[in-house]
Structure 1
């Protein structure tokens, strides 16, 4: 962008502080019998009880407003073969069929009934299509040239806003995110920097022109609605590459630390051929666990592996390890990382706040703190993790963030939802 961009003002009717709970794609995937979103009113009532006023979701924008697919009977369900049933976000238990557009409208109606707001995002180039009964949604997304994907998402989001406005529901929108964690997933397909495939911070640099075109397209169609993208961490080395034409600075400060040590020790995000099978079996896995090379999705569901972004070794460890054993490993090694984790969190939040002030942008932490822990692990709500949540919310308030999150695991689809008192306390620390 060559000329100074003036951000769309924050709508005056929105709360002074957004207390956010992460409903991601779970709010439409997990609507079957016994699932946490079978009753949207109950889910919103639970959120309000815990001190939340905002949910953050994948709104299926491209599926509903770009793909051309019939979504009146969208079939959703588990990934198949018991795969990822011990993995957060992936442990879908029941098949369900929804009228996807009507379900979106009902979510916004429920938000209005409970005086809550919605951060409208998309996980479509990362996870959402993997839970569909067939690959049509996934194929429609990947048929778009990578150079055009952000623009097509912008057009779909703009059409979604129009639909909500026609139903007197657009006032529930806090802001729009073209996509979740843009540097991780298929938005980066084909990116090169100096002739080499762009990854990590290089992907953030190379992706910026695509994102700026998408943001500009949305502004042209919806000039009064704040729009942004978000990043999977605080990219302290390349903050200059964050698009000039966004309206909210949204970052996800996952500090990892001791969790990263676990991931590296057991090759959970590395190549399958490098996975330390015998070490994992000796230290982490339950009796009877198959070898990684012999385990996976049924062949007819293999397309789902490209429709989601979690590495197979990580899913394998989460599925077959004893969660209490992993908790013990994290506690045993936490002392080696405690100081650095706290310093990293404070530094990242201060860098984010400084960048937001310089740009005149509201600052939101839409996900964060430790990282991607096993479904039944309790490290993040236990005595150590809970204190990190309290500290992070206190620090979020100190640096002047507009929105923040108790923890990414504090949502109806996670066991941590049952810890009502911790969520109320942490939200109160943020709102004062």
Structure 2
């Protein structure tokens, strides 16, 4: 008889003794943690009088007051520095939004990110420098990215921006992006803002944009841009990284800036009401809205035919479908929320575990590659502007689970929630944002 302990194999040995240490070292002049507010393209598409970004200085001051230290934006590099013959447009860009609907309101009024009334003009190159100046005054750093092959040009009155970038052959798009970023970085450097760049994203969500797969030329251009600017973190972001096969993510990323969404019950609702499809047989499709969606619409909602359509080029310039614009503009947000709350119990555990496991997968990949990990968007998904499911107790619980997992596994930067920004109602919940930002910024990094 032996007194030796039972041997259960190497799987019982905990080798990750310092899981909370950062996955990779960020540049020393940047904050030890990034707490990110997602301003995307809204910092220039919602700059109307009285809008959330009418004053960039006031918006930056408020972000700093709430405890944020990082802005993530679309810097529109193709429009501003793409050498695509758009300099005059960049200097006098008319923001229209999605256009005027037949009832006199504007399309996108019930959506997030697309609720832009428009009606003004701006010099976007000057405004970019104004943003960096304001960020500097309030101690913020900036993650400049591009949403141009996903939606940014759709907000302009003129289709020239979209037509110019759409005319770039698919195989050349990453090269043109890298060249435009090189010039934009040079302009920011000349203006004294190089150290304010937290990282550069070649493009937002390359897997959900009008771009080839990143491995098809993107990583080559990323590496070229990194070699041109070796002191900067240069990467691209994924909307849905392959969490179960992270080894398939191509090499060359300077940071693991990946997004973590767990649609769960939201996806079940979207499938039931068929809201994310396109009217492939012509919009309005006679079968749209289906009875399930019709039951969730506000009283007096127009028919899809009476609602009308955006200018056709705007549908090609964005990833949101005609059915989504109609549905979100006319949904009853209380009915929408009630459906989600009633169905959430069935999805609660899977959504909580999915968020945690995805964060862990991202952090493990970043640690393997020795790069900083960032969750630049999360946690549930795309909901109507006035739906409160994600801002409410369920959504905040899921967000806090994601933040906890990120801190426990060495993620350098994170959003509180994709909806925690001046153009969303969650911005009004100051106490929660202050508490979460304090938690992030006081968490140990080693």
TM-score by length of 2: 0.88
Q: Are 1:180 and 2:204 counterparts?
A: yes
Gaps of 5+ in 2: 1-22, 101-105
Match of 2:438 in 1: 428
Contact kept? 1:233, 1:252, Cα under 8 Å:
yes
Decide whether the 8 Å contact of 2:242 with 2:248 is kept in 1.
no
Distance 1:175 1:91, change over 3 A: same
Aligned pairs (5 A) from 1:140-219: 140-188=164-212, 206-219=213-226
Change (3 A) 1:247 1:8: farther
Q: Of the candidates 349, 352, 358, which is equivalent to residue 342 of structure 1?
A: 352
> 1 CA distance for matches of 2:210 and 2:234?
20
Query: Is the 1:53–1:115 contact (alpha carbons within 8 Å) kept by the matching residues of 2?
Result: yes
Q: Report the 3-state secondary structure (helix = DSSP H, G, I; strand = E; otherwise coil) of the residue aligned with 2:414.
A: strand
- Answer whether contact 1:83 1:296 (CA < 8 A) is retained: no
SS in 2 for 1:284: coil
Q: Please name the residue that 1:225 is paired with.
A: 232
What does the per-residue CA deviation read over 1:173-216, in whole Å, with 9 as the maximum and x for residues that have no partner?
A: 0000000000112113xxxxxxxxxxxxxxxxx44132112202
Residue 132 of structure 1: CA displacement? Answer: 0.8
Q: Is the 8 A contact 1:393 1:404 kept in 2?
A: yes
Judged with a 3 Å threshold, the aligned counterparts in structure 2 of structure 1 residues 379 and 21 are, in CA distance, closer, same or farther, namely: same
Structure 2 partner of 1:286: 298
The alpha-carbon deviation at position 96 of structure 1 amounts to: 1.7
Q: Secondary structure at the match of 2:168?
A: coil
State which of 310, 313, 328 in structure 2 corresponds to 1:303.
313
CA positional deviation for 1:294: 4.9
- Map of 1:30-429 to 2, 5 A cutoff? 30-66=46-82, 67-69=84-86, 70=88, 71-81=90-100, 82-188=106-212, 206-272=213-279, 277-298=289-310, 301-429=311-439
Distance 1:214 1:33 in 2: 39
Q: Partners in 2 of 1:152 and 1:46 — Cα distance?
A: 35
CA distance 1:221–1:8, change in 2 (3 Å): farther
Q: How many residue pairs get matched?
A: 407
Verify the 8 A CA contact 1:129 1:135 in the aligned structure 2: yes
Structure 1 residue 116: Cα displacement:
0.3
Q: The residue matched to 2:99 in structure 1 has which SS?
A: coil
How many Å apart are 1:8 and its aligned residue?
10
RMSD: 1.7
* Partner Cα distance (1:384, 1:90) in 2: 25
Larger radius of gyration: 2
| Aligned equivalents of 1:158, 1:10: Cα separation in 2 | 21
Q: Distance in 2 between matches of 1:326 and 1:84?
A: 17
Q: What's the CA shift for 1:282?
A: 4.3
Higher relative contact order (CA 8 A, sep 6+): 2
Distance in 2, matches of 1:158 and 1:296, equals 41
Cα drift, residue 399 of structure 1: 1.0
- Conservation of the 8 A alpha-carbon contact between 1:393 and 1:429: no
Residue 278 of structure 1 deviates from its aligned partner by 4.0
Partner of 1:3: none
State the distance in 2 between where 1:213 and 1:145 align.
17
Contact 1:364 1:403 in 2 (8 A): yes
For the residues of structure 2 that align with 1:10 and 1:38, how far apart are their CA atoms? Answer: 32
Which shifted more, 99-108 or 235-244? 235-244
**Counterpart pick for 1:15 among 31, 34, 50:** 31
Alpha carbons 1:393, 1:427 under 8 Å: kept: no
Moved more, 324-333 or 382-391: 382-391
Cα deviation, 1:89-147, whole Å, max 9, x if unaligned, reads: 00012322111111000100111101100001000001110011100100110111111
> Aligned with 1:277: secondary structure?
coil
Could you tell me the TM-score, scaled by structure 1's length?
A: 0.91
In the alignment, is the contact (CA less than 8 A) between 1:119 and 1:175 conserved in 2? Answer: yes
**Among 33, 38, 44, the residue aligned to 1:28:** 44
Gaps of 5+ in 1: 1-6, 189-205
SS at match of 1:336: helix
Q: Secondary structure at the match of 1:186?
A: coil
